[in-house]
Chains A and B, each alone.
Chain A
């Protein structure tokens, strides 16, 4: 089963990796930050080596977002993201895991889960099993 992991974050400044730009990370020692980065790289190595990582990308600063609405056939483009909240979508991963439990375990190992939230959502498919 495939899952979308949405990385939500509330950074002081936008950048990659986003978890290092948070207030919480700024309050850490250099060693703590380096350790967090190492954990994250280990996680990425583990899920790419296991063949669970399908794809993943960091998103650009929400300041670059454009929201497109078509009303009465007219397209209206506004600056900024659709969702106005403290936390912003900072990146996404698609993982293909043996169980939902495993997807949650991976989500919990993203440093971002400590500061904001990593949302796990199964992807829909076209399965046509007997009812």
Chain B
């Protein structure tokens, strides 16, 4: 690993702590975030030449504070109030703390910042953008590139999000304990969306783009370190690791999608599987049950099967039943129908699909037709299976999935 990469990792891991320290002091998220970005740019220029400072976090906070105060000075309307606040700051907030002081307070700030970035007043895309920039330390250009939108569009989304937070009067502090679970579940949803967005890159473009799945895992890992006793944070991290473990097997050399049952399991990442299984096992035994833990448990059942035929479908079916009660939704029911078909035969699964087809949210969804096609194929009705595969292929917006579904139809 090169020094440049090590430096990049280092400053991105301290970014939320730098922003957190500034917001706590100046109560201005917008400026704090801008100032932190400027300090990161200064670090990008100076550190390679002058070496990484002994305490990079303190260096960044010092430089960012200076930028922020410069900004405030040029803003006549606010200068008096903000500087009064600044001068009341204990001097050691603005300069390097003694080495033994690094740690605890910064960690609290990261979590508060994450909660602020996922504030309920923001739309999901705005939460994602702000989280990646303020907590993930990515530049606007990197985020725009990752989401395949122009930089101006992403800049607008971020600046609008910051404005929204200001208007909502949200404060930089931990929510009260009774609100925390709901707020954390918003945070986890945002991290999960970042993770799934990571699958949207086509393999050719991925080389030049920030790997959003890796970024989501990194941020969720941070959240897990901050909240080790939150079973859903652990569950989400486990789900990501157990899904990511299959990444290399998910496409073949030709770039075609390979379904789970046909994947070369020797390509699965055993270290990720071990870590994911350990995380979810621990969470299930000592924390309150939640949907991410159940989804991770389902992923673990698949990942622990040496071959597709060894899959413990009874257990998968039980777990989907639990998930259906905890977090009901059409996609969960669809997945449960597949598990039911594997345990009791395709006819049982197809009967469930009949009911699901009346659900408006699913009726025009390609996945309903893809699942029906698969079950019809298992039932030996090749002609109907072919029709359903073709309909599903027309409905999906994913090019690799469309190719896959069409290949299935043609193979019948």
Contacts and interface: CB of A to CB of B under 8 A. Distances in A.
A124 B147 contact: no
B38 interface: no
A127 B125 contact: no
A50 B123 contact: yes
A128 B154 contact: no
B397 A130 contact: no
B24 interface: no
B126 interface: yes
B243 A130 contact: yes
Nearest to B163: A49
Interface residues of A, number: 22
A54 B149 contact: yes
Interface in B240-293: 243, 246, 250-251, 257, 259-260
Contacts of A98: 123-125
Contact of B156 (A49, A124, A129, A131): A49
Nearest to B247: A128
A109 B141 CA distance: 30
Contact of B404 (A52, A96, A131): A131
B398 A124 contact: yes
A23 interface: no
B218 to A, nearest CB: 20
A127 B199 contact: yes
A129 B260 CA distance: 11
B252 to A, nearest CB: 11
A126 interface: yes
**Would you call the interface of chain B mostly helix, strand, loop, or mixed?**
helix
Interface in A38-87: 48-55
A129 B259 CA distance: 10
A125 interface: yes
Interface stretch (B6-14, B29-37, B94-102, B201-209): B201-209
Contacts of B203: 126, 128
Given A1-B397, A123-B397, A50 B157 contact: yes
Contact of B257 (A49, A50, A52, A131): A131
Nearest to A122: B397
Interface in A111-128: 122-128
Given A51-B129, A51-B157, A125 B149 contact: no
A98 B193 CA distance: 11
Contacts of B250: 128, 130
A55 to B, nearest CB: 7
B46 interface: no
Contacts of B171: none
Contact of B399 (A1, A52, A54, A126): A126
Contacts of A2: 148-149
B251 A128 contact: yes
Nearest to A126: B202
A128 B129 contact: no
B246 A128 contact: no
Contact of B160 (A49, A55, A127, A130): A49
Contacts of A1: 397
B400 interface: yes
A51 B398 contact: no
B126 A51 contact: yes
B200 A127 contact: yes
Nearest to A49: B160
Contact of B398 (A52, A53, A55, A125): A125
B171 to A, nearest CB: 24
B398 A128 contact: yes
A131 B262 CA distance: 10
Contacts of B401: 127-129, 131
Interface in B315-374: 370
Nearest to B206: A126
A122 B397 CA distance: 7
22 contacts: A48-B156, A49-B160, A50-B160, A51-B126, A51-B129, A51-B149, A51-B157, A96-B153, A98-B123, A124-B397, A124-B398, A125-B202, A125-B399, A126-B201, A127-B401, A128-B251, A128-B401, A129-B199, A130-B243, A130-B246, A130-B260, A131-B260
Given A96-B147, A127-B199, 12 more contacts: A50-B156, A54-B153, A55-B150, A96-B149, A124-B397, A125-B200, A126-B400, A128-B400, A129-B199, A129-B398, A130-B260, A131-B404
Interface of B: 123-126, 129, 147-150, 153-154, 156-158, 160, 196, 199-203, 205, 243, 246, 250-251, 257, 259-260, 370, 397-402, 404
6 tightest Cβ-Cβ pairs between the two chains A and B: A51-B157, A126-B202, A131-B259, A127-B398, A51-B156, A127-B200
